[in-house]
Amino acid sequence: MNKGLLIVVSAPAGSGKDTILECAFKSCNNLNYSVSATTRAARPGEEEGVHYFFKTREEFARLIENNQLLEYTEYAGNLYGTPREYIPKMLEAGKNVVLKIEVEGAANIKKLFPDCVSVFILPPSFAELERRLRKRGTETEETIKKRVGIAKIEMSFVKNYDYVIINENLDDAVKDFIAIIEAEKLSTKHGIPVIG
Ligand code: 5GP
């Protein structure tokens, strides 16, 4: 059986990555999220074990201590980390895994899984990014400013990614994302199929 594909997606907050991925998940079967652990408070509508595993700082420290994370980082004052066991287990079982992660974590995952496919999603402009963050209505003014500042730094990492999508229009961005996965599934770099 072919191994699954690991798709690492990074995008500044407000770039629309969650909506793009939600649509892509509806169109492709065999896409599975790796759910991260975080010390960030849950936003309205976010569920434990679906969007994140929500942890206290103490609980997160224990995950690190017990070597239960593949990587972790601090982002806008909160800790985020990728559970160690889920990804290799799913890939071995032929399942494709999508990991939504910031740039530092993505670089660490690329070192651990050189075969992974990395995708960066850009908003059409900084003004639009700020507008989308405000519209979300879940962040304080201070957090919005912090996230726009981080987004500017993050965008300098685009060149380290295999693919870049500009989210000007949702339908096109979803098509682009699915096209990347379809092409990667056919790429010889993930193995040569054996025919009878
Ligand atoms: P948010 O608070 O908006 O859900 O996430 C903030 C940032 O943390 C996003 O860029 C998100 O992709 C990233 N992130 C989420 N989970 C992880 C993780 O497990 N590791 C790393 N390094 N970043 C993560």
Note the pLDDT tens digit of each residue in 35-65.
999 999 999 999 999 999 999 999 999 999 9
Distance CA 110, CA 94 (A): 19
Residues facing 33 on adjacent strands: 98
141 and 134 Cβ atoms separated by less than 8 Å: no
Confidence of residue 1 (pLDDT cuts 50, 70, 90): low
Confidence of residue 132 (pLDDT cuts 50, 70, 90): confident
13 in contact with ligand 1, CB cutoff 6 A = yes
159 and 106 Cβ atoms separated by less than 8 Å: no
Confidence of residue 174 (pLDDT cuts 50, 70, 90): very high
What pLDDT digit, counting tens, does each position of 181-195 carry? 999 999 998 888 888
100 in contact with ligand 1, CB cutoff 6 A = yes
12 and 155 Cβ atoms separated by less than 8 Å: yes
82 in contact with ligand 1, CB cutoff 6 A = yes
Q: Which atom of ligand 1 approaches the CA of 10 most closely?
A: 12
Which of 78, 56, 81, 57 has the alpha carbon at shortest distance from 67? Answer: 81
Per-chain mean pLDDT for the chain: 93
Question: Atom 24, ligand 1: which residue's CA is nearest?
Answer: 101
Higher pLDDT, 56 or 29: 56
**Residue 72 Cα, ligand 1 centroid: separation in angstroms?**
9
**Residue 100 Cα, ligand 1 centroid: separation in angstroms?**
6
